[in-house]
Amino acid sequence: MRQIVLDTETTGLEPDLGHRVIEIGAVEVVNRRLTGRHFHKYINPQREIDDGAFEVHGISQAFLADKPVFEAVWEEFVAFVRGAELVIHNAPFDVSFLDYELGKVSAAPRRLEDICAITDSLAVARNKHPGQKNNLDALCRRYEVDNSQRQLHGALLDAEILADVYLLMTGGQTSLFGQGSQAADTAGAVVAEVVPQFERGSVQLRVITASEEELAAHEAFLDFLAADHAAPLWRRSQEVLDA
């Protein structure tokens, strides 16, 4: 199973008002393990950045001035995410912006859902932890994921953190090399570090069968039990099967 955990940063909150994507960060997970592959682009939005958005991510127009426009990176982006399950926190927000960007490129797919399955990790968190805070910082505290570098929002860093949180939240370890702390959910269940998996057939298990003497002793013991009590349940079940 191939999953892409994704986050974006934008110039504002409303694509309908012409706001644009300015950063895309995504990390690849295959069979619930981070592969180390990622997609990361800063994008020139060709418009101003709202003050409120700048306070969140700290990305300035001056910094983006020499970055490529979305039309120059969409093919690489689509190739990276195509066919995967996208995991996005508050997915409707990011998807609406990415669909807006794709819609402005005549050769691009119209919508992300045309090329990917989409999972909203915020909806997953709300279902698992109803009535609690389920933003990314709250989930990091709950699952003991280190987010100390998250002074400002950044798409790639947030995607990496979300990958850790999502895999812990859905029952598995995240580390590429099996390193990482244990985390406990609100029910007190501990998610342990990853255990090495052996390929089927790589370990031959020895099968030990009972000897004739042991089988005879077992039958004698069952006869002893039946002398003062009804026949043991497993013997009665076998008699029914043999009938």
Which residues are tagged catalytic? 153
Which residues pair with residue 193 across a beta bridge?
A: none
H-state helical runs in the chain: 51-57, 61-64, 74-81, 91-103, 121-128, 136-143, 155-169, 212-228, 233-242
Largest CA distance in the chain: 93
The rounded distance, in Å, linking the Cα atoms of 153 and 69 is 21
Give, in order, the Cα–Cα distances in Å from 71 to each of 21, 91, 102, 240. 12, 22, 8, 73
